[in-house]
Amino acid sequence: MDCRYRPGRRRFLAALGAAATGAGYGDAFGQPRDPIRRPIPSTGELVPAIGLGTWITFDAGADAQRRAALHPVLQAFFDRGGTLIDSSPMYGSSEAVIGALLPRISPRPAPFAATKVWIVGRGAGARQMEISRTLWGVPRFDLLQIHNMVDWHAHLHTLKVWKAEGRVRYIGITTSHGRRHTDMEKALATEPFDFVQLTYSFADRSVERRLLPLAAERRIAVIANRPFDGGNLFDRVRGKPLPVWVGDFGCDTWAAFFLKFVVSHPAVTCAIPATSQTPHMLENMGALYGRLPDANTRQRMIRAFEAL
C-alpha cells in the first residue's frame, strides 16, 4: 500500500476523460500508445512491465461499498494496458474480491492471473490452489508461486505435475522484505522455476548483488514487489520536485520515477505496486509508457535519490 500526493486536478480529470471516451493512454498524456512490455525468459512471452499487487489494498471483505470503490481502480489498470495481477491466500479476501470484480470490467479482460500457495503440506497446498482458482473464477492460473518459500519442496512437486498437465502455465517462488536470500539463491540455482518474486526498490537494492544476476543467468522472470517500500519512498520525496531531466524518458511523477528505476533493471520483468486509489493507479500506469532509463541514467537516478 502506498501513500502519496494526488495528481493535479487537471491532469486527473483529463485521464478520466480519456477513460470515459475510450481514448488511449497516450492521448491523455501525450505519450506513445504502446506499453512497455518485457519478455518472460523461459518462453519469450511479453507481459506489461507494470502489474498490480493486491496485498492489503484489495482485502475489502464482503463490504459492497469497499468492493465498488475498487472497480474503477481495476478498470483503470486494464484501460492503461495492465494484465498481470498478483495475489495470495495470505491477502485476506483479495482473491475473492478480484474474482467478483473481473466480470465487471469492460471489455472483459484477459488477465495474467498470478497467485500463490501458502500452507504446509502437499495435499493442503493442492486444495488451497484449487480454492484460489474458484475464487478468481479462472479456468487455470498463468502463474502459481510458492509464497515466501513455505514448504517449497512439497509444493514444487505439485506445481511441476500441474505444469506438465497444463493446469498452470508458469511456476514460481517468492520472498519479500529482503528475507531468506541465501535459501532463495540455492532454490533458483537448482530448480526449474519460471518466475521469482523479490523485494526491489530504492530502499532495498540487495537483490542486485546475487539474486538478479542469478535470475538472468538461469533465464527466470523477476517480479519486483514493494517497489514503493510500502509507501515510505513517497515520504522521502514529499514536497520535493522531480529532477527536470527525468522528462527525457517520459517520467512526470515520483511514482513513475520509482517504478521505471525498478523495471529498467535488465533482469526485472514486472513490478507490482499495490493501490486502492484510482488517481494512484493512473500514476502507476504512467510508468508503463515512454522510455526506460538506460544504465547511465539509472546511476543518475540513484545519485539523485540518495541526495534527497
pLDDT digits (tens, 9 = 90+) for 1-10: 565 643 333 3
Residues facing 173 on adjacent strands: 146, 196
Taking only the tens place, the pLDDT of each residue in 123-162 is 999 999 999 999 999 999 999 999 999 999 999 999 999 9
pLDDT at 3: 56
pLDDT at 129: 97
Give the cell for residue 144. 502459481
Judged against a pLDDT cut of 90, whether residue 206 lies above it is answered with yes
Q: Are 16 and 10 in contact (CB under 8 A)?
A: no
pLDDT at 275: 97
pLDDT at 47: 98
With b meaning 16 or more CB within 10 Å and e meaning fewer, what string describes 153-178? ebbbebbeebbeeebbbbbbbbbeee
pLDDT at 2: 61
Taking only the tens place, the pLDDT of each residue in 57-100 is 999 999 999 999 999 999 999 999 999 999 999 999 999 999 99
Taking only the tens place, the pLDDT of each residue in 245-265 is 999 999 999 999 999 999 999
CA distances from 19 to 37, 69, 284 (A): 21, 16, 15
Comparing 29 with 298, which gets the higher pLDDT?
298
In the structure, what pLDDT confidence band is assigned to residue 178 with cuts at 50, 70 and 90?
A: confident
Judged against a pLDDT cut of 80, whether residue 46 lies above it is answered with yes
Taking only the tens place, the pLDDT of each residue in 8-41 is 333 433 443 333 323 334 444 444 479 999 999 9
With b meaning 16 or more CB within 10 Å and e meaning fewer, what string describes 181-199? beebeebbeeeebbbbbbb
The distance of Cα 100 from the centroid of its chain, to the nearest Å, equals 20
pLDDT at 204: 97
pLDDT at 9: 32
Among candidate residues 264, 273, 236, 219, the one with its CA nearest the CA of residue 40: 219
Among candidate residues 101, 97, 79, 99, the one with its CA nearest the CA of residue 284: 79
Across the chain, mean pLDDT equals: 91
pLDDT at 11: 41
For a pLDDT cut of 70, what percent of the chain falls above it? 90
Q: Is 117 helix (H, G, I), strand (E, B) or coil?
A: strand
As a whole number, mean pLDDT of residues 112-132 equals 97
Judged against a pLDDT cut of 60, whether residue 308 lies above it is answered with yes
- Range with lowest mean pLDDT among 7-21, 109-123, 184-198, 224-238: 7-21
